[in-house]
Structure 1
Amino acid sequence: MRFVALSVRAIRLRNAIVIAGRSFSLSARFISTLSQIRLSTTKDKFDGSAEKSAIAADRNKQPILEVLQKYIDQSSLKILEISSGTGRHIMHFATHFPNAIFQPSEIDTVSIHSINMLIDKYKPNGEGSEEVMRAVGQRSFLDEKALSPNRKVGEVLLVELRNVRVPLFIDVSEPVQRWFLPADFGAGSVDVLLNINMIHVSSNAAIDGLFWASRILLKANTGLLLTYGAYAVGGHITPESNVEFDRTIRQINPEWGLRDIAVIEEKAINNDLRLSKIFDMPANNKLLIFERQNH
């Protein structure tokens, strides 16, 4: 299997991928997902690409959840996700932490629309329920406690989520003071900040903005920043598939690329965050846990 060569013209809110004379408007997060799927032909790349993106999200959402469950309890936490993509991750997590408030965000208007569609369709036995069930995964939406006395456990039932808010437009490269955050997600009030598959497809300004925002928004001593994706370690990228992935995304945008964990850790230290744990994840990815310090 090989990577498909991509030619990209980037604009502020979207990226236009141009292949064989056709232009496709995709978010940076979506480009990342597509780039990591090894495909043999250009036709395979874009026929059903949304479905392949969903498959990629479904593949890693459970391993990420299992790490979250080691650090997040069932109390009424406030969880902000930067770069929520299509929203599949945050919807999956929200079903497992019903007492937490999840606030998704994106810079890409197409992704914001996708998240809103999931929220709108996520209603018990409502119109579009079967479509959502297929798109996000049936097991995450089953809640046996919510079954009426006349329903059997084996029947499909969608549980309406009330703990996922309408997504915000956030440009993480902008100072956090310019973000339009809800009043209850202000400075020092956020328990967990999630960031999945963004760092390797971001400018240095965006990465710096992520860590600066973590310093401002997370609760001192207890707040957590969790970042997931592919990284270099000790100046080296392994295995070869990650080397090829790094080369591909740098061709798309020279500001992108796999960052070394040591570089990321330095940014964290400069913003009163301590790298406390590194989890090896499937598909040669890692999940980094940063704790907000009180300095």
Structure 2
Amino acid sequence: MSSRAAVNVMRSAAAERNKDHIFQVLKEHLVSDSRLFALEVASGPGQHVVHFAEHMPNVTWQPSECDKDSLQSIAGYIAAKESKNVLQPVFIDASQPLSKWAGGSLIPQSCDLIVNINMIHISPWSATEGLFKAAGVLLKPGAIMATYGPYMINGMLTPESNVRFDQSLKERCPEWGIRDTADLEKLAKENALTLEKMVDMPANNKVLLFKKTSQ
């Protein structure tokens, strides 16, 4: 990465650690040589999307954020990596109606993949509701939404480190917290999605894979 471009980027140590682990899951479940379109909701600094794009050149990636500094950082990573298959980031506040996402430019059933990393537990529940409602509209039938982070499983939160993490999140903001997969499954069903698979990941995280039904 050039020093000029690096001025405009932020770096997440967690993203560096988990980006390849998440990529391996995506690669396994997105087997195609065709041209595909993927939307990343809440792209953070931008490390994930440029890494995914480098290793999945047949996929056009649309990153997004609601934070101004993160939007600048994503653009900086795209420039520094000279990513040809990553579009410029767009503003998306997942808690807002889909009509306000990216200025209303997103097309129903245009996404082969939606990716959402480390947002659900550090945002209000309304953001998760918005994410699932949008996925139900934007995903093609049979397409996948992958979410990554820590989760409670049917009312049980383990290990103890995740319990402490959940407490610290709620202390920072009462609207934050580790979500229960049972609640996410219910939300998915309301939006024509089904939880297909849970993949265990390092550091007590998981990738949840939701598939859009044929409706």
Q: Does 1:229 align with 2:153?
A: no
Q: Per the alignment, do residues 175 and 182 of structure 1 end up closer, same or farther by CA in structure 2, a change over 3 Å counting?
A: closer
Match status 1:191 vs 2:150: no
Secondary structure (helix, strand or coil) at the match of 1:242 reads helix
What whole-Å deviation, never above 9, does each CA across 1:184-217 have from its counterpart, x for those lacking one?
Answer: x400111100000000011111110000000110
Aligned partners of 2:197 and 2:101: how far apart in 1?
A: 29
Contact 2:110 2:138 in 1 (8 A): yes
Residue pairs, 1:115-264, within 5 angstroms: 115-122=74-81, 160-180=82-102, 185-220=106-141, 222-264=142-184
Q: Which residue of 2 aligns with 1:66?
A: 24
Stretches of structure 1 lacking an aligned partner (at least 5 in a row): 1-49, 123-159
> In structure 1, which of residues 268, 277, 283 is the aligned counterpart of residue 197 of structure 2?
277
| Offset of residue 75 of structure 1 | 2.1
Preserved contact between residue 74 and residue 98 of structure 1 (Cα < 8 Å): no
2:154 partner SS: coil
Contact persistence 1:90–1:102 (CA under 8 A): yes
Structure 2 gaps, min length 5: 1-9
Structure 1 contact 78–100 (Cα < 8 Å) conserved: yes
What letter matches 2:119 in structure 1? M
Counterpart contact for 2:108–2:137, Cα < 8 Å: yes
RMSD: 1.3
Identity %, equivalent residues? 46
Query: What count of residue pairs does the alignment treat as equivalent?
Result: 205
The residue type equivalent to 1:293 in the other structure is T
Q: Alignment partner of 1:188: what SS?
A: coil
> What amino acid is the match of 1:121?
A
Q: Is the 8 A contact 2:195 2:208 kept in 1?
A: yes
Aligned counterparts of 2:137 and 2:103: Cα–Cα separation in 1? 12
2:121–2:179 Cα contact (<8 Å) kept: yes
Q: Which residue of structure 1 aligns with residue 211 of structure 2?
A: 291
Give the alignment partner of residue 65 of structure 2, picking from 79, 101, 106.
106
Runs of 4+ in 1 over 6 A off after TM superposition: none
Q: Going by fraction, where is strand more abundant, 1 or 2?
A: 2
